[in-house]
Amino acid sequence: MSISISPASEPFVGEQFDDIEQQRDAAKLGMWIFLATEVLFFGGLFLGYTIYRFTYGHVFVEASRKLDVLIGGTNTAVLLISSLLMAFAVRAAKLDQRRALVGLLAGTALLGCVFMSLKAVEYHKDYVDHLVPRMGFKWEGADPGNAELFYWIYFAMTGLHAIHVTVGIAIMLVLALLAWLGKFAHGNHNAVEIAGLYWHFVDIVWVFLFPLLYLVGHR
Amino acid sequence: MIRDATEIDIKTRGEFARDNYLSEHTVRSWLLTTDHKRIGLLYLGTILIFFLIASVAAALMRIELLTPQPKLVTSETYNKLFTIHGVLMVWFFLIPSIPTVLGNFVLPMMIGARDVAFPRLNLMSWYIFVAGGALALWSLIHGGVDTGWTFYTPYSTTYANSHVISMAAGVFVAGFSTIVTGMNFMVTTHKMRAPGLTWFRLPLFVWSLYATSLIMVLATPVLAITLALISVERFWGVGIFDPKLGGDPVLFQHLFWFYSHPAVYIMILPGMGVISELITCFSRKRIFGYAWVGCASMAIAILGFLVWGHHMFVSSQSVYAGMIFSILSFLVAVPSGIKVFNWTATLRKGAIHFATPMLYALGFIGLFTIGGLTGLFLAALAVDVHVHDTYFVIAHFHYIMVGGMVMAFMGGLHYWWPKISGRLYPEFAGKLAAMITFIGFNLTFFPQFILGYLGQPRRYHVYPPEFQIFHVLSTAGASILGIGYLMPLIYFIWAWRHGRVAGPNPWRATGLEWQTTSPPPKHNFKETPIVTGPPYMYSAEKDVDLNLASI
C-alpha cells in the first residue's frame, strides 16, 4: 500500500485516508461518538428533571397543565416531518439527485424555522401568563417554589434544544447551498449523511421532551 | 514480526532527517497546520504556560504556609491562589498533558497512519483550548475565583463575590476541546490502523489513550452541562440547585463528581500507557501479561464511572449508597494492581537500563503505588470520615497526579524527545533532574500525609504552631521539585539546536514510530508499514552490547 494521494477520479478524499470508504466510515463513527456526548450533555438536565419529578410529582403535574399542548403537539409533528424530509434528502444524495437534494434540505431547514417560530410564540405566551422564573413569575396553587423549579427546567431543556435546532437549521442551509453548487456528486455525500444523523438526534430529544414536559399532566 | 528495528538503525544511524515536519518556519505554517505532530507541539507550548502560572500559585501558597499565621497573603487571596492552582493544573495542564502532546504526536505513528482521522478538527480543538484558556486568564486578571476548583454550590451560585461565570465558561469551552480530541483519537484508533495491526497488537499506550478517550467523550459533557447550569443560576438568580425552590445543592456534587472522578482517570491512564512503553523498552523484555495490562486500562475507564460517590461520604449521601460506592472504589484497585504487578514482573530478569525515561518510570511505579494504596484508605468509609478534606487527601491525589501523571509525562517527553526533535537531550542532566524531581516530590508531599492524619484541613492558611515543621519540610521539598522541573525546560531548549543527532531509533525500540526518520516526515512514513506480529519483541540476548543509559 502506498502513501500516494488517491487518483483524481475519486475526488475529496482526505490525504490521511486510503480511500473514500475509510473516510466515510470514519466520519460516521465520529458523528455517532459526538451524539453520545450530546446524550450525556442533555443527560444532566434529564437527571435533574427525574429527581424533582419524583420528589415534587404533584406540583410538576399541576405545572405541566399550564403548558400549551396544542403548540407543543404541532411542533412535534413539524419536527417528525422534517426528519422524514431529512431521510429523503440522504437518499437523494446517495442517488445523486441534485435538485431533489436541494429542495429536501431547504424543506428541512424551513420546518426547523417553523418549529422555532412556534416556540417563540409559545415563550411569549408563557411570559404573558407569568410562567417565566424570576421574570414576573406568579403561581396561584400550592408550592410556588417547586412550580417555578418546573418552569426553570422547562426553559432550560427546551432552550438548550432550541439552540440545537438553530445550529441544525444553519447546517441545513449551508448544505443546501453546497448541494446547489453540486458539491455532493460522485458519492461524496458524507456531509449530508452525518448532518442527517445530527438532525434526527435533535428530533429524538424533542420526542422525549414533549411527553415529559407537556403530557405528564394529562390523563 | 514487526520489521527488525536494529537493522534499519544500522543503515541510517546518526542521520538527522532533512525532509521533516519542521521544515517550514513561518508563523502561518504553524497556526494553520493540520499535522498532528505540530499540533502536539502547539499544545506543549500552551500547557506549559498554564503549568507555569499554576506553579507560581502553588509556590505562593507554599511560601505563605511557612508560618502558622498569615504573613504574605490575606485569606481571600489564599482562596484564590488554590483555586487558580487547581483549575489551571486540572483542566489546562493535566487533562491535556499526555493525550494532546504525546498522544497527538505519537498515536498516528504508533498505528502506522499518516495523520489522525480528522486533522482539521484536531487543529480546531487547539484553538478551542486556547479560547477556553483565554477566558480563564481573563477571569484571573479581573480578580480570580475563590470557590476552589470544585465550584461547590450554593457558594459558587449565590455567595461568592468573584468571577465564577467567566472561569466556568473557560472550563466549559476547554471541555469541548477535550471532547473533540477524545472523539478524534477513538475514530483514529478504530479506522486508521495499518494493515495487520489488530487490536491485540496495539502498543499499550494506544490502549490507554483509547480508554482515556472513552472517558473524555462520556464524562466531559456532564461537566459542561453542570458548569452551564451553575453559570445560568448565578446569572439568573434562580436554578435547579437553588434550595429556595426546593432544588438540591447536593445534586451539583453528584453531577460534578460524575465527571470529575472519571476525569481523575483521564489524569492517570495515559501516564500508565507511557510507563508500559518505557518499562518494556528499558528492560529489553516483552511486557508481562500484555492483554491484562491493555484490558486493565479499559476496566479502569469503565469502573471509573461507578465510584463518584466516594467523594461524598460526608455530604448527606445515604450510608448504604456510601457502602456500595466504597466497595466499587475498592474494585478499581484490582486493574491498577494488575498493572503495577505486571510492570514489576516485566522488570524481573530483564536487562534494565537506567536511562532517564526509565528513572521516571521507576519513580512512577513507587509513587503511584503509594498514591493508590492511600486511595484505598480513603475508599474505606470510616477512615474517610476521619481524613476527609484534610491534607491526607491532598497528599493522596498529588501522589497520583504529580507523582504519577507528571512523572510519566516527563518520562514520555524524554523517551520521545529524540523522535520529536531529532536530537538527544544531555543524559547526565536528565538523570540528575529525574532524581531531583523524585526527592523533591517526596519531601513536598509525604509530610502532608502526616499533617492530614493529624487533622490539618485543606484550604486553610492558618494552622496550629505544632504543624509548622511539616509545612516547612513541604515547602523545602517544593523548592527542590521546582528545580527538578526547571532543569528539563532549560536542557530541552538547549538540545533542540545543540543536542547530539539521535537517528531514527536511539533506544532500539520496536514501536512503529521508531521505524521512520527523526524528525519524521510530514506524513510520517515513506510507505505504510505492514504489521505481522505482536508488539514489544525485545530480547535481552540480542542487545547484550547495548547501553541505553549512556547513549
List pLDDT tens digits, range A62-120: 999 999 999 999 999 999 999 999 999 999 999 999 999 999 999 999 999 999 999 99
CATH number at B503 reads: 1.20.210.10
Asked whether residue A2 is domain-assigned, the answer is no
CA gap A131, A140 in Å, rounded: 11
The x, y and z cell numbers of residue A88, run together, are 429523503
Asked whether residue B26 is domain-assigned, the answer is no
Share of chain A above pLDDT 90, in %: 82
Mapped to the 3 state alphabet, what secondary structure does B56-123 carry? HHHHHHHHHCCCCCCCCCCHHHHHHHHHHHHHHHHHHHHHHHHHHHHHHHHHHHHCCCCCCCCHHHHH
Burial bucket for residue B349 (CB in 10 Å: 0-12, 13-18, 19+): exposed
Which residues face B423 on adjacent strands?
B501
**Inter-chain contact A43–B240, Cβ cutoff 8 Å?**
no
* Confidence category of residue A3, pLDDT binned at 50, 70, 90: very low
Number of folded domains that form chain A: 1
CA gap B548, B415 in Å, rounded: 11
Structural domain of B455? 5-13+35-550
CATH number at A144 reads: 1.20.120.80
N-to-C CA span, chain B: 26
Q: Touching check for A8 and chain B: CB below 8 Å? A: no
**Inter-chain contact A36–B192, Cβ cutoff 8 Å?**
no
**Inter-chain contact B218–A48, Cβ cutoff 8 Å?**
no
CA distance B124 to chain A (A): 15
Structural domain of A33? 20-215
Asked whether residue A142 is domain-assigned, the answer is yes
Cell 477535550 locates to: B178
Number of folded domains that form chain B: 1
Asked whether residue B64 is domain-assigned, the answer is yes
Q: Is the pLDDT confidence value at A11 over 90?
A: no
Asked whether residue A38 is domain-assigned, the answer is yes
Is there a contact between B449 and B58 (Cβ–Cβ < 8 Å)? no
Cell 487547539 locates to: B126
Asked whether residue B114 is domain-assigned, the answer is yes
DSSP class of residue B114? S
What was the pLDDT predicted at B488?
Answer: 97
Asked whether residue B22 is domain-assigned, the answer is no
Q: Is the pLDDT confidence value at A5 over 70?
A: no
Asked whether residue A3 is domain-assigned, the answer is no
The predicted model scores a pTM of 0.94
What was the pLDDT predicted at A219?
Answer: 62
Q: Count other Cβ atoms within 10 Å, centred on residue A121.
A: 12
Q: Count other Cβ atoms within 10 Å, centred on residue B228.
A: 18
Query: Quick one: residue B314, left, alpha or beta (phi over 0 = left, psi -120 to 50 = alpha)?
Result: alpha
What was the pLDDT predicted at B308?
Answer: 96
The mean pLDDT of chain A is 92
CA gap B299, B297 in Å, rounded: 5
DSSP string, B24-47: ---HHHHHT---HHHHHHHHHHHH
Length, in residues, of chain A: 219
Nearest to B95 by CA among B327, B234, B270: B270
**Inter-chain contact B183–A37, Cβ cutoff 8 Å?**
yes
Low-confidence stretches of chain B (pLDDT < 50) are: 1-12
Share of chain A above pLDDT 70, in %: 95
What was the pLDDT predicted at B1?
Answer: 37
Asked whether residue A123 is domain-assigned, the answer is yes
DSSP class of residue B240? T
Asked whether residue A200 is domain-assigned, the answer is yes
Asked whether residue B307 is domain-assigned, the answer is yes
Asked whether residue A88 is domain-assigned, the answer is yes
What was the pLDDT predicted at B550?
Answer: 76
CA distance B33 to chain A (A): 14
What was the pLDDT predicted at B18?
Answer: 87
Residues of A whose CB is below 8 A from B113: 16
Cell 480578580 locates to: B143
Q: Touching check for A148 and chain B: CB below 8 Å? A: yes
Asked whether residue A204 is domain-assigned, the answer is yes
Q: Touching check for A50 and chain B: CB below 8 Å? A: no
Nearest to A108 by CA among A119, A92, A125, A121: A92
- Summarize pLDDT for B365-408 with one digit per residue, the tens: 999 999 999 999 999 999 999 999 999 999 999 999 999 999 99
CA gap A46, A35 in Å, rounded: 16
- Summarize pLDDT for A178-195 with one digit per residue, the tens: 999 988 887 788 999 999
Asked whether residue B18 is domain-assigned, the answer is no
What was the pLDDT predicted at B7?
Answer: 44
Determine the residue of chain A that is closest to B116 in CA distance.
Answer: A16
- Summarize pLDDT for B474-495 with one digit per residue, the tens: 999 999 999 999 999 999 999 9
Residues of A whose CB is below 8 A from B191: 22, 25-26, 29
3-state helix, strand, coil in chain A (%, to 5): 75, 0, 25
* Confidence category of residue A20, pLDDT binned at 50, 70, 90: confident
Cell 472523539 locates to: B183
DSSP string, A189-217: -HHHHHHHHHHHHHHHHHHHHHIIIIITT
What was the pLDDT predicted at A19?
Answer: 87
**Inter-chain contact B225–A2, Cβ cutoff 8 Å?**
no
Q: Touching check for A48 and chain B: CB below 8 Å? A: yes
Q: Is the pLDDT confidence value at A30 over 90?
A: yes
Which residues face B457 on adjacent strands?
B390
